[in-house]
C-alpha cells in the first residue's frame, strides 16, 4: 500500500525540481493541478487521522505501563530462602524486565541478609571450635548456588536484551538509510509507471523495519516522505494510482474496524485492550483512504475502541468484587496448607515429596489474583506463616541429621583411639584380626560431618598401616612367606596367560585368588605387578572379538583392584577408589540437574530446539556413564 505524503527535507529544492519537470514535460493541464490540490488535502487529512490514532495508542501504552508499575507485590519479607530461590528462578525467565527489576530490588537485600546471617553463624561456630578466620570456608549450599546462578542469568539476559535493542536500532537505521538510497535512486531515474511496484516493495520493507534511534527518527521520516512526494509529483497518473491504492487501504481499514467491533463484544477485557493496541498500530501504518470515507471510517473505528475502553472502566470498577472472590479462593488454599504444618518424617525422600507438594500450592496461591487491600496483610501473613512453619520443621529435621553425624564422628574417633592402641602390639595374628574387625565396624558406621570425613579417616588408616608395616618387618618367617607368595602369584599369572579367549568367569576367579595372596619380596613387587598387568592385557587383546566393551572395562577394573590389594595400604587405596567413583557419579548427577534446569530457560524456537537436543544427548550420555560407574562401584564394594 502507498504511504501518506509528508513534508520534504528541503521544500525549495523540491519546488525547483517540480518546476524543472514541468518545463521538460511542457504540458500541464488544469485538471492535473486540480488533482494535485485534491491529493494535498487528502494527505493533510490522513496525517491528522494518523495523529489521532497515535495519540490514542500512546495513551493506552502509558496506562498499561503505569498499571504494571503499581501492581501489588507479595510480602517477600516473610519468604524463606527456598521461596526466594523459587521466586528468582521464575524471574530469571521473565521478559518483563520492568516488573522483574522491582521484584529483584525487593528480594535481593532479603536474601543477602539471610546469607550473611548464616555465614556469621557458621564463622562464629568455626572460631569457637578453634579455627582461624583465614581458614574459614562457607559450607556448600545448593540454595545459595541456585540463587546466585539465577540472579546472574537474569542480569545477563537483561543486559543482553537492552544491548540487543540498541544494536537492533542501529541496524534498523542502516537498513532504512539503505532503503532511502534506493528510493532516491529510483526517484532520480527516468522510470515511469514500471517503478510503482518497486515503490510498493520499498514501502513494505520500510514498514517491516523496526524502531531507530530517537534522534534519527524525524529526519528519516521527513526524507522518506519527501522522496515519495517527489516520486508521485513526477508521474501524471498519480491520481488514478492513488485512488486505486486508497480503495485497497479502505478494504484493509474496514477489516480492522470489524476486528475492533468483535473485540468490543469480548468479555475478556485485558485481552481486548491488548489486541486493540495492535489494531491501532496497524491502522496507523495503512495509507490514506478516499477522502469521503476518512472521517466515517475513523469514527467507526473510534466507536469500537471507545466501547472497549468503557468496558475497561467497568472492569476496574468491578475489581473490588473480583478481589473479594480471590480472597475466598486464598482462604481455601490456606486450608489446604494447614496439614503441612504438622507433617513429620524421618526420611529425606518424604520431606522432599512434601516440599514439591507445598511448592505446587505456592504456585496456586501466586496464580490467584489480588485481594482487597485491607485484607492483604492478614491473608498473606496466614499463608506465609504456615508456609514458613513447614520449612522450619524441615530445617529441624536436617538439624537432627547433623546431630546423628556428630554421633557417628564420636564413634569413629573411638575406633581411631583403639587402632592407635593396637598399632604398637606385636601379637601379629590376634591384633591383625582385631584391626580387621575394627575396619568392618568402621564401614558400618554412617557418615560424619563433611569437614571431618577425610581427617578422621586418615588418623584411623595411619594407625592400621603402622601395625601392618611393623608386622611385615618383624615377622621371622616373612621372607619365606613372601617367596611362597611370589611363586603362587606367578602360577596364577601363567594360568591367566593360558586362559581361553573370553573365559571371563575363570579370569575373575584368578583375579580374586591373586588378590588374596599376601606380600612378595620387596625386589619382586614391581615385576610381579607388571607381569600380572601384562597377563590381563594379553587376555583382553586375544578376547577382543569375544568380549563387549562393558566386559573389557570390568576386566580392567578388576585388574586395578587386584593391584591395589597386592600393594601396601590397600584398604586406604580401595577407599580412595570407591570415593573417586562416587565423586564421578555425583558430578554427573549434578550436571544432569544443571542441564535440565537450563533446558527450562529455552523458549520455543528452532535455535532453542537445537540446544535442547544437544542437552538431551548430553543427559543420555551422562546417564549411561552413571550406569557403568555404579557397576564399577558394586565391584569395588564387593572386595573384602
Report the alpha-carbon distance of residue 256 to residue 246 in Å, rounded: 15
Q: Which of 468, 483, 488, 581 is nearest to 532 (CA)?
A: 488
Mean pLDDT of the chain: 78
DSSP string computed for 403-418: HHHHHHHHHHHHHHHH
Report the alpha-carbon distance of residue 225 to residue 5 in Å, rounded: 5
Q: What is the pLDDT of residue 487?
A: 92
Q: For 469, phi and psi rounded to 5 degrees? A: -70, -40
- Stretch 628-639: mean pLDDT, rounded? 70
Report the alpha-carbon distance of residue 222 to residue 217 in Å, rounded: 9
Q: Which of 539, 544, 530, 549 is nearest to 505 (CA)?
A: 539
Q: Which of 341, 453, 436, 438 is nearest to 392 (CA)?
A: 341
Q: Which of 583, 568, 580, 585 is nearest to 622 (CA)?
A: 585
The alpha-carbon radius of gyration of the chain (Å, integer) is: 40
Q: What is the pLDDT of residue 25?
A: 31
The answer to whether 512 and 561 are in contact (CB under 8 A) is no
Helix (H) and strand (E) counts in the chain: 21, 0
Q: What is the pLDDT of residue 110?
A: 87
Q: What is the pLDDT of residue 22?
A: 36
Report the alpha-carbon distance of residue 78 to residue 381 in Å, rounded: 8
What is residue 423's DSSP assignment?
T
Report the alpha-carbon distance of residue 418 to residue 35 in Å, rounded: 112
Cell numbers representing residue 90 in the block: 521464575
In tens, the pLDDT along 67-115 reads 555 567 788 888 888 888 888 888 888 888 888 888 889 888 988 888 8
**Lowest mean pLDDT: which of 207-216, 464-473, 553-562?**
553-562
Asked if the model's pLDDT at residue 13 lies above 70, the reply is: no
Asked if the model's pLDDT at residue 9 lies above 80, the reply is: no
Q: Provide the pLDDT confidence category of residue 53 given band limits of 50, 70 and 90.
A: very low
Q: Which of 384, 340, 392, 341 is nearest to 366 (CA)?
A: 384
Report the alpha-carbon distance of residue 336 to residue 358 in Å, rounded: 9
- Stretch 478-491: mean pLDDT, rounded? 85
Report the alpha-carbon distance of residue 344 to residue 397 in Å, rounded: 8
- Stretch 563-581: mean pLDDT, rounded? 69
Q: What is the pLDDT of residue 490?
A: 93
Q: What is the pLDDT of residue 109?
A: 93
**Lowest mean pLDDT: which of 62-66, 88-92, 104-108, 189-193?**
62-66
Q: What is the pLDDT of residue 264?
A: 87
Report the alpha-carbon distance of residue 209 to residue 69 in Å, rounded: 29
Q: Provide the pLDDT confidence category of residue 494 given band limits of 50, 70 and 90.
A: very high
The answer to whether 72 and 376 are in contact (CB under 8 A) is yes
Cell numbers representing residue 285 in the block: 501504518
Q: Any alpha helices (H) in 368-449, and if so which ranges?
A: 373-422, 428-444
The residue that leads in pLDDT, 9 or 516, is: 516
Q: Which of 457, 465, 458, 454 is nearest to 422 (CA)?
A: 465
- Stretch 2-20: mean pLDDT, rounded? 35
Q: Provide the pLDDT confidence category of residue 30 given band limits of 50, 70 and 90.
A: very low
Report the alpha-carbon distance of residue 629 to residue 379 in Å, rounded: 51
- Stretch 339-358: mean pLDDT, rounded? 84
- Stretch 551-572: mean pLDDT, rounded? 67
Cell numbers representing residue 186 in the block: 529510483
The answer to whether 377 and 75 are in contact (CB under 8 A) is yes
Asked if the model's pLDDT at residue 37 lies above 50, the reply is: no
Asked if the model's pLDDT at residue 48 lies above 60, the reply is: no
Report the alpha-carbon distance of residue 7 to residue 376 in Å, rounded: 55
In tens, the pLDDT along 139-152 reads 778 888 888 888 88
| Burial class of 478 by CB neighbour count within 10 A (0 to 12, 13 to 18, 19+) | middle
Q: Which of 590, 567, 563, 584 is nearest to 631 (CA)?
A: 584
Q: Element (H or E) spanning 44, and its range?
A: helix 30-69
- Stretch 50-69: mean pLDDT, rounded? 46
| Unique residue bearing C-alpha cell 509529483 | 233
Residues 6+ away with beta carbon under 8 Å from 298: 49, 52
Residues 6+ away with beta carbon under 8 Å from 119: 138
Give me the count of residues in the chain. Answer: 640
| Burial class of 617 by CB neighbour count within 10 A (0 to 12, 13 to 18, 19+) | exposed
Q: What is the pLDDT of residue 626?
A: 85
Other beta carbons within 10 Å of 603: 9
* CA atoms lying within 13 Å on the CB side of residue 449: 12
What is residue 70's DSSP assignment?
T
Q: For 162, phi and psi rounded to 5 degrees? A: -70, -30
Asked if the model's pLDDT at residue 132 lies above 70, the reply is: yes
Residues 6+ away with beta carbon under 8 Å from 432: 467, 468, 471
- Stretch 403-408: mean pLDDT, rounded? 84
Amino acid at each position: 500500500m502507498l504511504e501518506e505524503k509528508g513534508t520534504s527535507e528541503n521544500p525549495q529544492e523540491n519546488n525547483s525540481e517540480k518546476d524543472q519537470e514541468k518545463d521538460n514535460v511542457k504540458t500541464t493541464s488544469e485538471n492535473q493541478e486540480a488533482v494535485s490540490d485534491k491529493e494535498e488535502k487528502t494527505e493533510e487529512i490522513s496525517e491528522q487521522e494518523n495523529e489521532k490514532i497515535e495519540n490514542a495508542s500512546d495513551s493506552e501504552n502509558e496506562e498499561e505501563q503505569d498499571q504494571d508499575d503499581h501492581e501489588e507485590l507479595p510480602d517477600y519479607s516473610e519468604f524463606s530462602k527456598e521461596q526466594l530461590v523459587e521466586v528468582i528462578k521464575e524471574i530469571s525467565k521473565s521478559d518483563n524486565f520492568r516488573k522483574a527489576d522491582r521484584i529483584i530490588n525487593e528480594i535481593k537485600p532479603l536474601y543477602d541478609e539471610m546469607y550473611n546471617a548464616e555465614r556469621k553463624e557458621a564463622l562464629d561456630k568455626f572460631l569457637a571450635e578453634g579455627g582461624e578466620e583465614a581458614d574459614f570456608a562457607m559450607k556448600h549450599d545448593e540454595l545459595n548456588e541456585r540463587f546466585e546462578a539465577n540472579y546472574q542469568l537474569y542480569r545477563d539476559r537483561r543486559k543482553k536484551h537492552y544491548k540487543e535493542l540498541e544494536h537492533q536500532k542501529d541496524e534498523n537505521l542502516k537498513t532504512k538509510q539503505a532503503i532511502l538510497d534506493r528510493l532516491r535512486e529510483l526517484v532520480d531515474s527516468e522510470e515511469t509507471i514500471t517503478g510503482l511496484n518497486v515503490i510498493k516493495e520499498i514501502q513494505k520493507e520500510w514498514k517491516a523495519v523496526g524502531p531507530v534511534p530517537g534522534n534519527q527518527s524525524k529526519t528519516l521520516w521527513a526524507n522518506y516522505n519527501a522522496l515519495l512526494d517527489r516520486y508521485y509529483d513526477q508521474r501524471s497518473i498519480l491520481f488514478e494510482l492513488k485512488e486505486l491504492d486508497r480503495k485497497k487501504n479502505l478494504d484493509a481499514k474496514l477489516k480492522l474496524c470489524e476486528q475492533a467491533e468483535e473485540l468490543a463484544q469480548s468479555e475478556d477485557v485485558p485481552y481486548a485492550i491488548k489486541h486493540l493496541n495492535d489494531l491501532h498500530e496497524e491502522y496507523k501504518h495503512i495509507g490514506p483512504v478516499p477522502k469521503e470515507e476518512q472521517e466515517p471510517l475513523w469514527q467507526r473505528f473510534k466507536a469500537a475502541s471507545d466501547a472497549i475502553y468503557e468496558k475497561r472502566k467497568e472492569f476496574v470498577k468491578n475489581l473490588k468484587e473480583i478481589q473479594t472472590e480471590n480472597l475466598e479462593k486464598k482462604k481455601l488454599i490456606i486450608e489446604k496448607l494447614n496439614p503441612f504444618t504438622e507433617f513429620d518424617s524421618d526420611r529425606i525422600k518424604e520431606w522432599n515429596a512434601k516440599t514439591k507438594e507445598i511448592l505446587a500450592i505456592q504456585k496456586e496461591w501466586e496464580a490467584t489474583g489480588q485481594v482487597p487491600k485491607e485484607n492483604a496483610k492478614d491473608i498473606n501473613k496466614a499463608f506465609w506463616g504456615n508456609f514458613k512453619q513447614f520449612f522450619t520443621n524441615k530445617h529441624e529435621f536436617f538439624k537432627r541429621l547433623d546431630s546423628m553425624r556428630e554421633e557417628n564422628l564420636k564413634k569413629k574417633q573411638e575406633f581411631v583411639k583403639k587402632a592407635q592402641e593396637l598399632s604398637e602390639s606385636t601379637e601379629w595374628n590376634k591384633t591383625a584380626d582385631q584391626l580387621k574387625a575394627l575396619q568392618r565396624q568402621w564401614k558400618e558406621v554412617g557418615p560424619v560431618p563433611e569437614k571431618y570425613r577425610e581427617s578422621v579417616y586418615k588418623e584411623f588408616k595411619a594407625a592400621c598401616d603402622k601395625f601392618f608395616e611393623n608386622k611385615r618387618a618383624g615377622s621371622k618367617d616373612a621372607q619365606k612367606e613372601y617367596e611362597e607368595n611370589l611363586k603362587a602369584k606367578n602360577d596364577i599369572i601363567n594360568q591367566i596367560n593360558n586362559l581361553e579367549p573370553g573365559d571371563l568367569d575363570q579370569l575373575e576367579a584368578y583375579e580374586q585368588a591373586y588378590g588374596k595372596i599376601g606380600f612378595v619380596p620387596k625386589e619382586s613387587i614391581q615385576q610381579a605387578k607388571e607381569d600380572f598387568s601384562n597377563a590381563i592385557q594379553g587376555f583382553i587383546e586375544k578376547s577382543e572379538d569375544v568380549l563387549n566393551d562393558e566386559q573389557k572395562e570390568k576386566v580392567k577394573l578388576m585388574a586395578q583392584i587386584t593391584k591395589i590389594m597386592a600393594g601396601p595400604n590397600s584398604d586406604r587405596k580401595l577407599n580412595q577408589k570407591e570415593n573417586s567413583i562416587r565423586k564421578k557419579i555425583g558430578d554427573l548427577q549434578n550436571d544432569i540437574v544443571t542441564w535440565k534446569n537450563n533446558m527450562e530457560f529455552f523458549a520455543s524456537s528452532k535455535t532453542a530446539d537445537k540446544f535442547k537436543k544437544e542437552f538431551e544427548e548430553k543427559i543420555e550420555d551422562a546417564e549411561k556413564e552413571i550406569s557403568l560407574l555404579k557397576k564399577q562401584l558394586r565391584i569395588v564394594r564387593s572386595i573384602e
